[in-house]
Amino acid sequence: MKSLCCWAAAAVVLVSTGCGGPPPKMQNEATRDVHSYAQPHRARTTHLELDLEVLFDRKVLRGWVTHQITRPDASAPLVLDTRDLTVSKAETAESREGPFTATKFQLGAKDPVLGAPLTVEVPSGATHVRVHYETSPQASGLQWLEPSQTAGKAKPYLYSQSQAIHARSWIPVQDSPGVRATYRARIRTPKDLLAVMSARSDFRLANPKEPLSGDYTFRLPQAIPAYLIALAVGDLEFRYLSTRNGVWAEPSVVEGAAREFEDTERMIQAAEKLYGPYTWGRYDILVLPPSFPYGGMENPLLTFATPTVIAGDRSLVSLIAHELAHSWSGNLVTNATWRDFWLNEGFTTYCERRIIEAIYGPERAAMEAVLGLQSLEKEMKDMPPADQILHIDLNGRDPDDGATLVPYEKGALFITHLEKAFGREKLDNFLYAYFHQFAFQSITTRAFRRFLEQTLLASDPAAAAKVPVEEWITKPGIPSSAPRPVSDAFVVVEQVATAWAKADAPQTKAKTKDWNTHQWLRFLNGLPEDITAGKMAALDRTFGFTKSGNSEILFEWLRMGIQAGYQPTAPKLEEFLVKVGRRKFVRPLFEALVKTPEGKQRAQAIFAKAKPGYHPITAATVEQILK
């Protein structure tokens, strides 16, 4: 039994901006969301109803959204976030059923990062606000794919990516993670396509042969922030993996995906054992086309995932553990603003490794922690100190700029430091109590710190003295007292890498016979930065990296190939960049290209080919690099 009662009681006094309790009276600098025009302390959405038509021929969504609101300030207008939306009409009503009557609205000036505020006048007594609108074909949160860009090549595809502030490009909404609402939706699509959302679907999973209607309804009874609202429409098929878990994908992809993700139910059970029951109902995974700009996105009930995790050997499924862990850290307990993003990603990265440890053993978790820290240290080398801070100041910047490895790996290392100082049992009790205490709330770094101080830190002052909490949260770099993850499985790898660094060492091949993906990744990043094309050729002859079917290994190899000017990777590089839109891969490859003498021209030529297939977020990233 977890002893959470005393800690939970201690935490009752803490302030947070949840949906359950009364909204905060005032907004101060620590809780204000600088990335939203909404004024939730005056008028706040508690429930949304969407009714949208998916128009593939024009690449727009058209319809309306109804906001059910509460108003601490009875005369306040409802201020919503928008980006590139065409608003045709606003209406209000005193109940869900109406009648809805027209009201005045005003779309403000467009800010390049934030979009434009939509201010709707709300007469006293009105509790429902309906906005009729249409999206732009360039909506930053949507990608419209031609049939040729899908696996099946026969039908079009649409998907959304709302985090961080892209929900506003397809729904006029209070697009702040501190505002939580339940939602319902009705989505109409061409008749031969299926729609899925981050919500309970009224579509009968049990009967995949049921003819499609092109008219789908959804509801999510749990209150979530707007960045977790998600939609995908395409030629989708479903496979059960357990009674509550399954996978959606295009028909030609679904079998491979089902095999790759077979361990998911065990992951859910491992997470539940650590953090409390999975309270969302189903946990499904949607495998997207390869242009999906992220590895994964933790949309509630329906993780969105890149197909590049399907390696054939489950070696990259920590991504699923990660998105699943967000069901607690992120979706249950949410960062109140984007400067608190490390609360989402740091806890999740820590929890991800605990799930991996439970299913695949401590060695694999240790390897992933070592690789994670190595990537962080590499990335931090060229990073301004201000960006190395967990509680980062993002005022005036795009919150997507804050999505570096710092909130992920430095955040996870901070939790690991707490674990080492207080012991695993106490840390586990703390996390369990944390998720329980703040469930369905959006919390700030300050609220987290108060909870930490009043519970874990207060319970053992000697242990607390070992963890420089202030430094971890507010200072750049990594504290010198931070733990260093190590992995025995990397010892031999480092030896072989060193041998190759000194001379060609094809005789080491026998030692690599049983290496797993993580060992290969460690091997590649253990080779010298200034490796020559000749050395790469020798490695390729011995190990065949250019033919690797593992996206992570291939990515590292291609990056090295650019730096070394190793020509045999050139066709693979172009093929990879034209097919895959995952920013984690695309960004470093273009960055490496523009650093080499003839690279910039080549980068421009590849981008010209790749751009039509890229998501707007990926395309914008590359344009930035090529500027």
Q: Give me the residues that bind ligand BES (CB under 6 A), please.
A: 163-164, 294-298, 319, 322-323, 326, 345, 400, 403, 408, 584
Residue span binding Zn ion (CB under 5 A) among the ranges 173-181, 340-348, 359-367, 455-463: 340-348
> Segment contacting Zn ion (CB under 5 A): 25-33, 343-351, 428-436, 477-485?
343-351
Q: Is 121 exposed, middle or buried (0-12, 13-18, 19+ CB in 10 A)?
A: middle
Total residues in contact with Zn ion, by rule CB under 5 A? 2
By a kind-dependent CB cut-off of 5 to 8 A, residue 611 interacts, out of ligand BES, Zn ion, none, with none
Nearer to ligand BES, 115 or 295 (CB): 295
Q: Measured from the CB of residue 322, what is the shortest distance to ligand BES in angstroms?
A: 4
Residue-by-residue DSSP string for 191-205: TT-EEEESSEE-S-T
Q: Cβ closer to ligand BES: 235 or 352?
A: 352
Name the binder of 164 from Zn ion, ligand BES, none, CB < 5-8 A by kind: ligand BES
Nearest CA to 484 out of 431, 537, 417, 583 is that of 417
Quick note: the x/- pattern for Zn ion over 297-336, rule CB under 5 A, is ----------------------------------------
296 binds, among Zn ion, ligand BES, none (CB under 5 to 8 A by kind): ligand BES
Please identify, among the stretches 58-66, 338-346, 461-469, 535-543, the one whose residues bind Zn ion according to the rule CB under 5 A.
Answer: 338-346
Q: Please say whether the beta carbons of 171 and 118 come within 8 A.
A: no
408 is catalytic: yes
Nearer Cβ to ligand BES (39/162): 162
Placement of tokens 């490794």 in the chain? 353
77 binds, among Zn ion, ligand BES, none (CB under 5 to 8 A by kind): none
- Helices 583-595 and 570-579, interaxial angle, to 10°? 140
Question: Toward Zn ion, which CB reaches closer, 60 or 343?
Answer: 343
400 binds, among ligand BES, Zn ion, none (CB under 5 to 8 A by kind): ligand BES
Minimum distance from residue 405 beta carbon to Zn ion (Å): 11
Q: Which residues touch 347 (CB under 8 Å, ≥6 apart)?
A: 325, 328, 329, 330, 333, 411, 412, 415, 431
* Annotated active-site residue in 157, 183, 227, 408: 408
269 by Cβ neighbours in 10 Å (0-12 / 13-18 / 19+) ranks as middle
Quote the distance between the C-alpha of residue 311 and its chain's center.
Answer: 20
State how far Cα 601 lies from the chain centre: 32
Residue 340 site contact among Zn ion, ligand BES, none (CB < 5 to 8 Å, cut-off depends on kind): none
Q: Which is nearer to ligand BES, 351 or 447 (CB)?
A: 351
Closest CB to ligand BES among 55 and 167? 167
**Chosen from Zn ion, ligand BES, none, partner binding at 359 (C-beta under 5 to 8 Å by type):** none
Between 324 and 539, CB nearer to ligand BES: 324
Chosen from ligand BES, Zn ion, none, partner binding at 403 (C-beta under 5 to 8 Å by type): ligand BES
Two structure tokens written together for 346: 């740091």
Contact 268, 244 (CB under 8 A): yes
3-state secondary structure 579-627: HCCCHHHHHHHHHHHHHCCCHHHHHHHHHHHHHHHCCHHHHHHHHHHHC
Interacting partner of 163 out of ligand BES, Zn ion, none (Cβ under 5 to 8 A depending on kind): ligand BES
Query: How is residue 529 annotated by DSSP?
Result: T
Find the shortest distance in angstroms from Cβ 303 to Zn ion. 10
Find the shortest distance in angstroms from Cβ 618 to ligand BES.
12
Distance of closest approach, residue 586 Cβ to ligand BES, in angstroms: 11
The answer to whether the beta carbons of residues 556 and 546 sit under 8 Å apart is no
Write down the least CB distance from residue 196 to ligand BES, Å: 18
Q: Which residue type does 175 have?
A: D
3-class DSSP state of 233: strand
In the complex, residue closest to ligand BES by CB: 295
Classify burial at 194, counting beta carbons within 10 Å of its beta carbon; exposed 0-12, middle 13-18, buried 19 or more: buried
From the list ligand BES, Zn ion, none, pick the one residue 64 interacts with, judged by a Cβ distance below 5 to 8 Å according to partner type. Answer: none
For the beta carbon of residue 474, count every other beta carbon within 10 angstroms. Answer: 13
Q: Which is nearer to Zn ion, 320 or 589 (CB)?
A: 320
Burial class (CB within 10 angstroms; exposed 0-12, middle 13-18, buried 19+) of 17: buried
Q: Check: CB of residue 147 under 8 Å from CB of residue 153.
A: yes
Shortest reach from residue 378's CB to ligand BES, in Å: 16
If the CB atoms of residues 223 and 319 are measured against ligand BES, the closer one turns out to be 319
Instruction: For Cα atoms 195, 196, 201, give the angle at the middle one, nearest 5 degrees.
Output: 110
Helix axes 551-564, 517-525, angle to 10 degrees: 20
CB of 228 to ligand BES, least distance (A): 9
Sole window of 254-262, 344-352, 378-386, 517-525 interacting with Zn ion (rule: CB under 5 A) = 344-352
What is the nearest approach in angstroms of ligand BES to the Cβ of residue 77? 29
- Quote the distance between the C-alpha of residue 310 and its chain's center: 18
CA distance 449 to 604: 46
Binding span for Zn ion by CB under 5 A among 247-255, 347-355, 567-575, 606-614: 347-355
- Main-chain dihedrals φ then ψ at residue 21, nearest 5 degrees: -80, 180
Taking CB under 5 A as the binding criterion, the range among 53-61, 67-75, 241-249, 348-356 that sits at the site for Zn ion is 348-356
Q: Which stretch binds Zn ion (CB under 5 A): 245-253, 346-354, 375-383, 519-527?
A: 346-354
Question: How far is the C-alpha of 488 from the C-alpha of 495, rounded, in Å?
Answer: 12
Closer residue to ligand BES in complex, CB, 128/326: 326
Give me the catalytic one of 49, 91, 298, 323: 323
State in angstroms the smallest separation of the CB of 537 from ligand BES: 31
Length of the chain counted residue by residue:
627
Catalytic residues: 323, 408
Residues in the site for Zn ion, rule: CB under 5 A? 345, 348
